[in-house]
Amino acid sequence: MMRSMEGPASVLFSEDEIRARVRELGATISRDYAGRDPVLISVLKGGAVFLADLIQAIDLNLRTDFMSISKYEEGDDDSGVVRILKDLDQDIGGDHVIVVEDIVDTGLTLSYLLSALEARNPASLEVCALLDKSARRIAPLDIRYRGFDCPDRFVIGYGLDYEERYRNLPFILEVDLEVLARDPLALVPYLEGERGPRR
Ligand code: IMP
């Protein structure tokens, strides 16, 4: 269902909704991995905010690690070829690995990353994504842990950016990209709590 947006953006997931869902995901992961010590891998930069909250909701002896990858260029957008800009600091051979993503859109980036990680022979490899834009999926993916299904809209906040801004919004906004293209600072009032609920 298409909802109309009043103004340049509207709140898609509030801070309270996100907090509650992250807590549920953490509890599920804690149950599923009881007796094991998983490694949670975040893909920089967007996934870092979600990872930081998620690990505090998991009561296991976990480890974290970070990777940074280049996004494929528009134009060869179904090649799915990405470059690893920063690799993991640890060997994940024999480990139970969970890749923590902010959003899965076409799935091309993540499916490339999963095959690169699979080649390192982890004991298991699963995905935890806060947002799943399932309507846009090109590469079929098994997302074991999913926060919310996300409409086919551009979203920012809680780690997600527009030209590196707005990652620090504690909620998720769906935005009018035409407005942002005209004025990338159009949503600064949301950062200052002047628009929309901060909770
Ligand atoms: P995919 O390879 O198409 O699944 O792209 C995933 C990556 O695209 C995410 O990790 C984000 O960096 C970025 N992305 C996709 N949709 C959005 C969005 O709505 N807002 C911000 N970034 C997005």
Q: What is the pLDDT of residues 34-81, one digit of tens each?
A: 999 999 999 999 999 999 999 999 999 999 999 998 876 655 555 657
Atom index in ligand 1 nearest the CA of residue 155 equals 19
Q: Are 159 and 48 in contact (CB under 8 A)?
A: yes
The number of CA neighbours under 13 Å toward the Cβ of 28 is: 12
Predicted local distance difference test score (pLDDT) of residue 1: 39
C-alpha to C-alpha distance for 88 and 40, rounded to whole angstroms: 11
Percent of the chain topping pLDDT 70:
89
**If you take atom 9 of ligand 1, which residue's CA is the nearest one?**
103
- Looking at the predicted structure, is the pLDDT value of residue 103 above 50? yes
pLDDT higher than threshold 90 for residue 196: no
Q: How far is CA 89 from the centre of its chain?
A: 21
pLDDT digits (tens, 9 = 90+) for 163-176: 999 999 999 999 99
Q: What is the pTM of this model?
A: 0.91
Q: Which atom of ligand 1 is nearest to the CA of 47?
A: 10
pLDDT digits (tens, 9 = 90+) for 8-28: 899 999 999 999 999 999 999
Tell me the two tokens of residue 31: 């149950």
Mutate which of 45, 101, 105 for ligand 1? The one with the most ligand atoms within 8 Å of its CB, which is 105
Q: Determine the distance separating the centroid of ligand 1 and the alpha carbon of 36, expressed in angstroms.
A: 30
Determine which residue's CA is closest to atom 15 belonging to ligand 1: 105
A 10 A CB-CB count for 153 gives: 17
Q: Hey, what domains does the chain have and what are their CATH numbers?
A: 16-150 (3.40.50.2020)
